[in-house]
Amino acid sequence: MVRPTMEDVALRAGVSRALVSLVMRGSPKVSEMRRSAVLKAAEELGYSPHAMARSLASRTSTVLGVMVSDLHNAFFAEVVDGIDEVARDQGFDIIINTGGRSPARERRALESLLSFRPAGLILLSPVVPATAIGKAAEQLPVVLVARSSRVSTVDTVNDDGETGARLAVDHLVSLGHKRIAHLDGGEGTQAGPRRRGYVAAMEAHCLVPQVVSSEYTDAAGARAIRRLLTDDALPTAILSCNDFNAVGAISALEDAGLRVPQDVSVVGYDNTSLAALRHVSLTTIDQPRAEFGRLAADALLQRVREERTEPVRHLLNPSLVVRNTTAPPATDKYGGLR
């Protein structure tokens, strides 16, 4: 079915396209009689103005751009749910693209979003250089989720990653674990705070930290475990950088004939819908994903409406969710704790 156009409405109402445009923009320069005729024609044809075309015509955008770091990670989908909830309530649409965790691709994705002339941008865990973010913020409001910024015109929404990692280590230590490795997020955003929290917690318990280079993907989690399996002493517990990484780690452990949690306990980070699946049942650190999205959208719309100029720095507290992937360490064949 062909979508009706503004020209179709003009023809049905017997007016010019320019007058239809004025009506759709809510211009006060149109008589009530002609306005009624145009709206009646639009209703009969099932015409509704395209959000982007309306924005370009009125120079007042009702579109918010959202760049997602990784479309494969459920964390971002749940954050977008929160963004979309607030946007729709406030009469805004969202457009989404991704940079695939590549700085070069993210730069192009950012330029693409800017070409749509949105009212503002929300960037979810971007790895694009800070200079590119600052340049975008010179053109329109920008909010970062899961990444920090010192730019006064950029708002941020994060969780306290250091606290989250400490909660995970404390839980594992309370079960009796001493050899606890951290599969970190490498150069990914928020990897630093989680790594620092892990190291600080291990040292507070007088334990030796073991940070294993990894990334926020299941494949990276599996690779990290395969490297650990070549060591003489396998850790009895793993803290993964996120749930996606943890699922990859569990898969590699099971492929090697090890049981989770009987042989190795695993803790994720994010508490995505994936973690709650019955056959996964992952112990993890909860971040309120939808709340991240709602706070980000609220902050962005405050900037769009020029309700404030001071930066907002939301830092949410994480919490521990215990499920079935953690247990006390097993005893080895010599009768001691592994």
Residue 51 has pLDDT above 80, yes or no: no
On whether the CB atoms of residues 252 and 233 are closer than 8 A, the answer is no
- Rounded Cα–Cα distance for residues 219 and 238 (Å): 16
DSSP lists the bridge partners of residue 319 as: 286
Q: What is the mean pLDDT of residues 221-248?
A: 96
pLDDT of 276-321, one tens digit each? 999 999 999 999 999 999 999 999 999 999 999 999 999 999 999 9
Residue 20 or 243, more confident: 243
In the chain, what are the domain boundaries? Answer: 6-49, 58-159+288-315, 161-286
The pLDDT of residue 250 is 98
**CATH number for the domain running over 58-159+288-315:** 3.40.50.2300
Nearest to 121 by CA among 89, 145, 105, 103: 145
Q: With bands split at pLDDT 50, 70 and 90, how would you rate the model's confidence at 35? A: confident
Q: Are strands 283-286 and 319-321 parallel, antiparallel or unpaired?
A: antiparallel
Instruction: Kindly report whether the peptide bond that precedes residue 261 is cis, defined as omega within 30 degrees of 0.
Output: yes
**Residue 138 DSSP code:** T
pLDDT in tens, 103-124: 999 999 999 999 888 999 999 9
Q: What is the pLDDT at residue 60?
A: 63
Mean pLDDT of 323-334: 80
What pLDDT is stored for residue 232 in this prediction? 82
* 94, 83 contact by CB (below 8 A): yes
**pLDDT in the model for residue 87:** 94
Percentage of the chain modeled with pLDDT above 90: 75
What is the rounded CA–CA span in Å between residue 169 and residue 72? 27
124: enclosing H helix or E strand = strand 120-124
User: Please, how many CA atoms are within 13 Å of residue 317, restricted to the half-sphere of its CB?
Assistant: 2
pLDDT at site 61: 80
What is the per-residue pLDDT for 171? 98
- Is 50 exceeded by the pLDDT of residue 337? no
CATH class of 161-286: alpha beta
Distance CA 329, CA 178 (A): 9
The CA distance from 3 to 7, in Å, is 11
CATH 1.10.260.40 fits 6-49, yes or no: yes
Grade residue 20 by pLDDT with cuts at 50, 70 and 90. Answer: confident
Task: Decide if 58-159+288-315 and 161-286 have a common fold.
Answer: yes
